[in-house]
Amino acid sequence: MATTKIDRDGEVHTEMTTTEARQGANAGVIWVLGISLALTVIAGLALGVGWITLPW
């Protein structure tokens, strides 16, 4: 269970177990994959419509 602690400087820090920390790691990966997929679709549509031409 995550616990909140205050260090010497008075800053608040949340301490988690390794399992809790690993569970939140996938959220960033999902965003990156979603944005990459959206950009790929946009580039494919731009190529298909003719807005972008390849040099060869």
Which pLDDT belongs to residue 25? 65
The per-residue DSSP string of 5-52 comes to EE-TTS-EEEE--HHHHHHTTHHHHHHHHHHHHHHHHHHHHHHHHTSS
pLDDT (tens digit per residue) in 1-56? 777 777 778 888 878 888 877 776 677 788 899 999 999 999 999 998 888 787 87
Q: What residues does 6 pair with on adjacent strands?
A: 12
13 Cβ contact partners less than 8 Å away, ≥ 6 residues apart: 4, 5, 6, 7
